[in-house]
Amino acid sequence: MADATISGGLPQGRGAKTASPGGPMLAADGTPLRASLARSLRRQKMRALLLIAPLLLFILVTFVMPIGDMLFRSVENHIVADTLPRTVAALRDDPSEVPGEPVFRAMAEDLQVAVEEKTHTQLGTRLNYESSGMSSLLRGTGRDVKGMGEDVAKAVTGLDDAWEEPGTWVALLADPAWVQTQAEWAAADDKSPEPAFAASAAATERLPRTVEAYQAFAHVTQADDGDSVTEEEPWNLAYVALADDLRADPGAAEAFEGDNRARLDALSAAVADGTVPAVSYRDMFVESDDAWGEPGTWSVLRTFSSRFTPGYYLNAVDLKLGPNGIEMREPKDRIYLQLFVRTLVMSLVITGTCILLGYPIAFLLANLPERTANLLMILVLLPFWTSLLVRTSAWKVLLQQQGVINDILVWLGIVGDGNRLALINNQTGTIIAMTHILLPFMILPLYSVMKGIPKSYVRAAKSLGANDWTAFWRVYFPQSVPGIGAGSILCFILAIGYYITPELVGGTKGVFISNRIAYHISDSLNWGLAAALGTILLAVVMLLYWAYDRLVGIDNVKLGG
**Predicted local confidence at residue 20, as pLDDT:** 53
CA distance 459 to 468: 10
Fold of 336-556: MetI-like fold (1.10.3720)
Contact of 439 with 355, CB cutoff 8 Å: no
- Where are the domains positioned within the chain? 16-73, 81-147+281-303, 150-272, 336-556
CA atoms 124, 126, 128, 130: torsion sign: negative
Write down the pLDDT at residue 321.
78
Are 310 and 75 in contact by the 8 Å Cβ rule? The answer is yes
Residue 510: predicted pLDDT: 87
For 336, residues 6+ apart whose C-beta sits below 8 A from its C-beta are: 315, 316, 317, 318, 513, 516, 533
Q: What angle do CA 164, 102, 251 make, to 5 degrees?
A: 55
Record the pTM: 0.77
- pLDDT in 10s for each residue of the chain, 561 residues: 444 444 444 444 445 455 555 566 766 666 777 777 888 888 888 888 888 899 999 999 988 898 888 889 899 999 999 999 999 999 999 888 899 999 999 999 999 999 998 999 999 999 988 888 999 999 999 999 989 999 999 999 999 999 999 999 999 999 999 999 988 888 887 678 889 999 999 999 999 999 999 999 999 998 887 888 899 999 999 999 999 999 999 988 898 999 999 999 999 999 999 899 989 999 999 999 999 999 999 999 998 888 898 889 999 998 887 777 788 888 888 899 999 999 999 999 999 999 999 999 999 999 898 889 888 899 888 888 888 888 888 998 898 888 889 899 899 888 888 888 888 889 999 999 999 999 999 999 999 999 988 989 888 998 888 898 999 999 999 999 888 988 998 899 999 988 888 988 988 888 899 999 999 988 888 889 999 999 999 999 899 888 888 876 666 665 555
The 3-state DSSP class for residue 99 equals coil
Using CA atoms, how far apart are residues 215 and 207, in angstroms rounded to an integer? 12
Report the alpha-carbon distance of residue 32 to residue 19 in Å, rounded.
Answer: 9
Q: Is 32 helix (H, G, I), strand (E, B) or coil?
A: strand
Q: What local confidence, expressed as pLDDT, does residue 342 receive?
A: 93
**Cα 524 to the center of its chain, rounded Å:** 13
The type of residue at 407 is D
DSSP structural state of residue 18: E
Compute CA distances 177 → 180, 197, 200, whole Å. Answer: 5, 10, 9
Residues 6+ apart with CB under 8 A from 215: 197, 199
Best CA proximity match to 141, nearest among 180, 107, 99, 190: 107
Contact present, 195 and 310 (Cβ < 8 Å): no
